[in-house]
Amino acid sequence: MSVAHPPEVAARFGRIRQRPVVLEVEQLGKSFVSPGGETVRVFDGVDLSIRRREFITVVGPSGCGKSTFIRMVAGLETATSGRILLDGEAVVGPGADRGMVFQAYTLFPWLSVKRNVMFGLLQAGRSEASASSEACVWLEMVGLKGFENHHPAQLSGGMKQRVAIARALANKPRILLMDEPFGALDAQTRAEMQDYLLQIYRNVDATILFITHDLDEAVYLADRVVVMGRKPGRVIETVDVPLLRPRDPQMAFTDDFLATKRHIEHLIHPPEPAGTEKRKAPITRMTVVGDEVY
Residue ranges covered by each domain of the chain: 1-94+209-270
- Three-state DSSP class for residue 131: helix
Q: Let me know: does 9 contact 224? Beta carbons within 8 Å.
A: no
Spatial distance between the Cα atoms of 106 and 184, rounded to a whole number of angstroms: 13
Q: What are phi and psi of 174, to 5 degrees?
A: -70, -30
Separation in Å, CA 87 to CA 84, 113, 207? 10, 32, 12
State the pLDDT at residue 275.
65
pLDDT at 113: 97
Residues in Cβ contact with 205 at an 8 Å cutoff, skipping those fewer than 6 apart: 53, 172
DSSP 109: T
Count of all residues that appear for the chain in the document? 294
Question: What is the helix (H) or strand (E) element at residue 31, kind and residue range?
Answer: strand 21-33
Question: Which residue, among 99, 57, 53, 60, has the nearest Cα to 76 in the 3D structure?
Answer: 99
**Nearest in space to 52 (alpha carbons), one of 20, 13, 84:** 20
The beta strand positions in the chain, using DSSP E, are 21-33, 39-51, 55-59, 81-86, 89-90, 98-101, 175-179, 207-211, 224-229, 234-240
pLDDT in tens, the chain (294 residues): 555 677 888 888 889 889 999 999 999 999 888 888 888 888 888 999 999 999 999 999 988 889 999 999 999 999 999 999 999 999 999 999 999 999 888 899 999 999 999 999 999 999 999 999 999 999 999 999 999 999 999 999 999 999 999 999 999 999 999 999 999 899 999 999 999 999 999 999 989 999 999 999 999 999 999 999 987 888 999 999 999 999 999 999 999 999 999 999 999 988 777 666 766 767 777 777 777 776
Fill in the DSSP letter of residue 254.
S
> In angstroms, how far is CA 54 from the centroid of its own chain?
12
> SS3 of 43, please?
strand
Residue 246, preceding peptide bond in cis (omega within 30° of 0): yes
The single-letter DSSP state of residue 233 is B
pLDDT at 278: 66
Distance of CA 35 to the CA centre of its chain: 30
Q: Report yes or no: 176 and 169 within 8 Å, Cβ to Cβ.
A: yes
Radius of gyration (C-alpha) of the chain in whole angstroms: 21
pLDDT of residue 253: 95
CA-nearest of 32, 22, 38 to 81 is: 32
pLDDT of residue 134: 94
Local structure of 155: helix, strand or coil: coil
Interatomic CA distance for residues 67 and 45, integer angstroms: 16
CB atoms within 10 A of CB 258: 13
Predicted pLDDT of residue 287: 73
Assessment of whether the complete model's pTM goes beyond 0.85: yes
Q: What angle do CA 180, 57, 14 make, to 5 degrees?
A: 160
- Residue 224 β-bridge partners: 56, 240
In CATH, the architecture of 1-94+209-270 is 3-Layer(aba) Sandwich (3.40)
